[in-house]
Chain A
Amino acid sequence: MTPVYIAKATQVAARSLDGEMMIMSAKDSTLFTLNEVGTLIWQSADGTTPLNEIVEQKICAEFDIGPSEALTDAQGFVNDLADHGILVVSSSPITAAMPAQGAAS
């Protein structure tokens, strides 16, 4: 399976409020809030840790869910965030901040 790497897009504003992330897209000023699990994935999006590792080490360790189901959910989640331009998804490690696909230029 090809590893998936995720990094926070540079075009967003983000802050944790009461344990949940609020994220504002610069593209269209849309405001998102992430639940506890989404927040954990967002905070772990360092560009170098593969998504399956994040799921196994962070999600499965804290929540009662199997790795396979959690990874499927997480992949859908990160793709959704990437579509909104607030997360960068790549098949190789992301070492430098880069604009998210589809985000404002």
Chain B
Amino acid sequence: MSLMQELGQRALDCGVPLSVQLDVTYRCNERCVHCYLDHNDHGEMTTAEIRDLLDQLADAGVFFLTLSGGEVFMRMDFFDILEYARSLMFCVKVKTNAFMIREKEALRLRDLEVQDVQVSIYSHRPEVHDAITLLPGSLNRSVAGIRLLRSHGVKVIIANVLMMQNLGDHTSVKALAAELGAGYTIDPTITPMMDGDRNVLRLGLGVPQLQSVFHNSDLVGDVDSFCAPPIGASGDVLKELPCSAGHTACYISPYGDLFPCVQFPLPSGNVRRQKFMDIWRYSDQLNQVRSITLQDLPVCSTCSHVGSCSRCPGLAYLEGNMRGPSMQDCEKSFARTGIPSANMHLKKNTPPFRGLVQINALLPAEQKPSCSVLDNVM
């Protein structure tokens, strides 16, 4: 067990929220086609409210703090927030599109000793990247921001969200990251809108594309290991927790709403009305999430992938049942191994729900969800 895993286990045993993502704003200068947020300002927390929240988070034992958005630099007080967070000795990660990072901002981020800065780059080609962000000139500005950060020794990680629009570009984005001296990570997950709207999922990869990604050693490392056949429910695997959401991690919106995770929008309380620790300890919703082990998942507990699946309870929740399967993760398990999940078998043997067929029929052809690709495979 690594030191980080040991700390995670100890935090779990002690009920400590080791990691928190705080979105300081949903406002953004970009309008990414796949974004799950409403960018209008509905009353963000003030600087004073966020400082008070940070005090509470430090007292609660939070160590890893991710400051994200929206675009964090849309807040004029972002550096006040960051400086205060660092004074409380959080290990701070910042997510930004780097569009607004110039010399002054890069120096300040260096001086405040953030752990790393994560920047989303969708393609090395401006015509592709800018068509996703819908902000002309955004690739050049983001890359310039990364160069400035790197020139001042700030650690940068380029996050490459993979969609149909940019699928062919990941090799060049990875090369760009290497040239910039930045880390590189891929994310093939498109998240439904926080209000449950699933239309953005049509932008995501289908199974054939996921198979191509997951069998690429440049992206996943050891393909044989990454795509190994599932080993089923061996040992105590069914007693394991689905993930850290609500257990040692949570997410707080710019309006103070607390959720188990940024990808798990189950409203669990609001830090403007309640103390953070009261929500963390006593929220019915968080305690409900905590009560679920893999053996409580009616379909997934019977699935051969149960021990190795990346099942996200948040995506399952967004599909209608936090104890149910997440079809996006079923597709990933299938793409890795070629073995359909229990949920996929179930869906195959279940006549289509009439209501869904009617909804699909109302969508233009190009808006149909990518799971139609899966139907072709099966």
Q: Which residues of A contact B (CB under 8 A)?
A: 8, 10-18, 22, 24, 26, 29, 31, 33, 104-105
Contacts and interface: CB of A to CB of B under 8 A. Distances in A.
B91 interface: yes
Contacts, number: 49
The CB with the most chain B CB atoms within 10 A, among A8, A13, A14, is that of: A13
B61 A16 contact: yes
Nearest to A29: B115
Contacts of B3: 31, 33
A24 B115 contact: yes
Interface in B1-43: 3-4, 7, 10-11, 13-14, 16, 18
Contact of B7 (A8, A12, A14, A17): A17
16 contacts: A12-B89, A12-B113, A13-B89, A15-B61, A17-B10, A17-B14, A17-B18, A17-B61, A18-B13, A22-B7, A22-B63, A24-B91, A24-B115, A26-B113, A33-B7, A105-B153
A16 B59 CA distance: 9
Interface in B29-69: 58, 61-63
Nearest to A15: B63
Interface of B: 3-4, 7, 10-11, 13-14, 16, 18, 58, 61-63, 89-92, 110, 113, 115, 153, 155
Top 6 nearest A-B pairs (CB, nearest first) are A13-B91, A15-B63, A26-B113, A14-B89, A24-B91, A11-B113
B16 A26 contact: no
A86 B71 CA distance: 31
Most chain B beta carbons < 10 A, residue from A11, A24, A26, A29? A26
A24 B213 CA distance: 33
A22 to B, nearest CB: 6
B62 A15 contact: yes
A12 B87 CA distance: 10
Contacts of A104: 113, 153
A13 B63 CA distance: 8
A24 B18 CA distance: 13
Contacts of A8: 89
B87 to A, nearest CB: 9
Contacts of A22: 7, 63
A15 B61 CA distance: 6
Nearest to B65: A13
B115 A18 contact: no
